[in-house]
Amino acid sequence: MNEQTYINGFNRGYLIAKHEPGLVGKMIKTLQPTNDFLAGFFNGKEEWEIEHSRVQLDELKQVRDQSKDRDLDRDM
């Protein structure tokens, strides 16, 4: 495995997934991870999706906590 090629693909997959999710979705449908660059690209896309999901879950938790606080204030 060429580590630098993999890292390059990972970084590009991550950035394209972050800034152009529609484009990366189309690319993933037509590509297979047949080399180090594409394997990194696929993993970079997946990493962005995991991080983005975590951020969304954190935001949801904050909204729920705020809602609970408001409910407690009403009960008093």
Question: pLDDT, tens digit, for every residue of 37-60?
Answer: 999 999 999 999 999 999 999 899
- Amino acid identity of 20? E
Summarize the confidence of residues 55-67 as an average pLDDT: 88
pTM of the entire structure? 0.77
Average pLDDT, the chain: 90
Domain locations in the chain? 3-75
CB atoms within 10 A of CB 61: 10
Q: Are 9 and 41 in contact (CB under 8 A)?
A: yes
Residue 27 has pLDDT above 70, yes or no: yes
